[in-house]
Amino acid sequence: MSLFDLTGKTAVVTGAGRGLGEAIALGLARAGADIALVTNQTPADKTAAAIRELGRKAITIQTDIADRTKLAGIIDRTVDELGRIDILVNNAGIIRRTPAAEHSYEDWQDVLDVNLNSVFLLSQLAGKHMIEQGSGKIINIASMLTFQGGINVPGYTSSKHAVAGLTKALASEWAAKGLQVNAIAPGYMSTDNTEALREDPVRSAQILQRIPAGRWGTSQDLIGPAVFLASSASDYMNGHILAVDGGWLVR
């Protein structure tokens, strides 16, 4: 199992204050990594304390990743306080639900700033350190709407399609430099982003009927895939979009 050991590695996880990001951060820490927890409004003090109880180091960075001027500080502080950066998990994301004909430019731009622009810029900043050290893992969080169109979410769908393209573009450039860039595409997960869907009895039933596993995914379902893509076990994987969807795409 040493292939999955992350001892001595340092990971940055965005959107780490709750949900999928919090679970991924804790999972990486259990595998041995020190963690920089990046959040916007949700404090991550409890998560940091839990990581320290595991014997790992943890720092919290509360900032607005939609503001591109703040992103270099995330990477700089991680390197300054934790010594290096080996893993970047671009998990933070937002969604705005409005019919396309009524979707405001502000909603469109807000989603792209968080879901796409921050992913590129943080990958670029972290990638420079990783290229210099000759190794690194970047894990982007895609979506089922990386493959499909969705309903009333044109900005989100566009951003998640673009995340797949960016993942492949960076993988193509950086594989020879010792980096692996991949993405996880979660299925329909029980998170804040899907609360409206889960509370709609008709839409929720339609979704569950299509999932072969017969349930909504949970944050715990992403821990194994994240540790795998962050570890040496995935050293020959590059540019892959790993669906963790209960079988949604095969039905």
Does the annotation mark 156 as catalytic? yes
Return all residues near 187 (Cβ < 8 A) that are at least 6 apart: 144, 211, 217, 243, 244, 245, 246, 248
What mean pLDDT comes out for the span 20-33? 97
In this structure, the number of other CB atoms found within 10 A of the CB of residue 133 comes to 13
Question: Which one is catalytic: 105, 156, 188, 236?
Answer: 156
Locate the domains of the chain by residue range. 2-189+218-246
pLDDT tens digit sequence for 188-222: 999 877 888 888 899 899 999 999 999 999 999 99
**DSSP string of 160-202, one letter each residue:** HHHHHHHHHHHHHHHGGGTEEEEEEEE-SBSSGGGHHHHH-HH
2-189+218-246 architecture in CATH? 3-Layer(aba) Sandwich (3.40)
Which residue type sits at 205?
A
Token couple for 148: 């499909």
pLDDT tens digit sequence for 41-83: 888 999 999 999 999 999 999 999 999 999 999 999 999 999 9
pLDDT tens digit sequence for 164-190: 999 999 999 999 999 999 999 999 999
Model-level pTM?
0.96
Q: What is the mean pLDDT of the chain?
A: 96
SS3 at position 134: coil
Strands, E, within the chain: which ranges?
10-14, 34-39, 58-62, 87-90, 136-141, 179-186, 241-244
